[in-house]
Amino acid sequence: MLQPLQRAMALLQQGQYDEACGLCQQLLAHHPDHFAARHLLGVALLRQGRLDAAEQALQQACRTQAPTRQLAQAWNNLALCRQHRHKPEAALAAIDEALGRERGEAAFWLNRGNILEVLQDWPQMRAALQRALTLAPGLDEARIGLAVACRQLGRLSDAREQLETVIEQDYDWLREYILLLLLQQDREQALALCDQVPDSDSLQGVADYVAEAGDPALATPLYRRVLERDPDNACAAHMLDALTQQPSERAPRAYVEALYDQHAGAFEQRLVGRLGYRAPELMATALAEVPPVRLSPALDLGCGSGLLGQALQTRFPAIDIDGIDLSAGMLEQARHKGCYRRLWHGDAAEILQRLPARHYRLIASTDMLIYLGDLAPLFAAVARCLHPEGLFAFTVETGAGDGHQLHGSGRFRHGADYLERLAGEQGWWIRSLEAFPLRRENAGTIEGLMLILERLPAGPV
């Protein structure tokens, strides 16, 4: 019994997850209640990214008899799995089960702090990470997290004190410390630290972190430093335009592509888990409430990692969906979901011009139009490809009046009057227009609009 488990563990450590899973499953076929095999199987599945199966295996391990410390570790791994599945409340319940069995494990308290950061429960996050540091004073990851919690609670001096005692001053430390210095109006020291950042891409990452986690205006001098090093950096130039309110009609392709390629691996955990993004599910629900219409084939503009395709397939199992996205990294994530018939890499408006006319029964988009100011060219391209009885469904960030505005976040906002005018120009009427909370951002919520458009009927409306 011991030898196959040792082999499975060695395979896991070597990254040979399929082989490790196979050995564990062989053991479980003969000994279904073997805790170590079940637990190891769950960990191997988690490393593979097979999250549904990993959660099931880890749940079974947690229900199996085993020594208390081993059960605590299984509950901790279940919490990690649930974090990856964007289930922070369930993850918190699992880590509390682990801590109920083993309260002296610093890693468990660190995990609890990370979950509470997603839930934005700053007082509890602070308490968890303080406990972790009591147990393991040299745990730099906990100290940086504690600084984040203190900053969010307005305890800037406490946050700085934590950061100044960090031993391994890595990139996470650097960007948090620069943000804190700027919040404390210590701009000279912050810019001096920026000069220690080795390349323009890393410095832009610091600027993006400052813009997102603090007041976006704080990042203005950082983006200027990026452009001093790399004058052709489209991402920094766009963000500087947004922060200085320069006129713009769309985000540069290089900006959007680089943004999503960079964050492809952690996109869903951040957007769904941390920012509470539910637009794809809400759109699928809204389309299900439309009087019976045919929605296949469908086209997902800016499909990203495939969240909308997944939501549509759940609601409409027989639907055929194609997808377009600028980011090759995001398309790879979408491909793994298996819900798309075809995927294209490129600009949505350009690809629409090459697709069959009047073909799609549904053209949908969540969180793509926020990178376009003037929507008229895209609306015209959609009108060309949309079936006469088709629907065009999309979301935007809520703007004002009959126009669009470039926000300091680098994203555009669009007014309902503007969208209604563009729809009328294409011969569409608004079947549905709903305001909804699009995502969390800093201490507030970004408001969105969800629209479902269709062709004007031949007779009076």
Query: Which segment of 7-11, 246-250, 264-268 scores lowest on mean pLDDT?
Result: 264-268
Higher pLDDT among residues 283 and 271, named by residue: 283
**Alpha carbon of 28 to those of 66, 78, 311: distances in Å?**
15, 19, 34
pLDDT of residue 460: 44
pLDDT for 443 equals 64
pLDDT tens across 394-415, in order?
999 999 878 888 888 889 999 9
Separation CA 250–CA 192 (nearest Å): 33
Q: What are phi and psi of 44, to 5 degrees?
A: -60, -40
Domain 265-455 has CATH 3.40.50.150: yes
> pLDDT digit string (tens) for 351-360?
999 999 999 9
For range 456-461, the mean pLDDT: 54
The answer to whether 337 and 310 are in contact (CB under 8 A) is yes
Whether the Cβ atoms of residue 423 and residue 391 lie closer than 8 Å to each other: no
Indicate if the pLDDT at residue 458 is higher than 80: no
For the chain, give the mean pLDDT. 90
- What does the pLDDT look like over 195-207, one tens digit per residue? 888 888 899 889 9
Q: What is the pLDDT of residue 272?
A: 62
Q: Is the pLDDT of residue 457 over 70?
A: no
Domain boundaries, the chain: 178-246, 265-455
**pLDDT of amino acid 301:** 96
The contacts found for 332-337 with CB under 8 angstroms, 24 or more apart, are 332/264, 333/264, 333/267, 333/268, 333/304, 333/305, 333/306, 334/303, 334/304, 334/305, 334/306, 334/309, 335/306, 336/49, 336/306, 337/305, 337/306, 337/309, 337/310
Structural contact between residues 226 and 203, judged by C-beta atoms closer than 8 angstroms: yes
Q: Facing residues of 396 across strands? A: 449
pLDDT band at 432 (very low <50, low <70, confident <90, very high): very high
Average pLDDT of the residues in 214-224: 87
Q: What are 111-167's pLDDT values in tens digits?
A: 999 999 988 899 999 999 999 999 999 999 999 999 999 999 999 999 999 999 999
pTM, two decimals, is 0.78
Does 264 score more than 70 pLDDT?
no
**Taking a C-beta distance cutoff of 8 angstroms, is the pair 210, 230 a contact?**
no
Q: Are 436 and 446 in contact (CB under 8 A)?
A: no
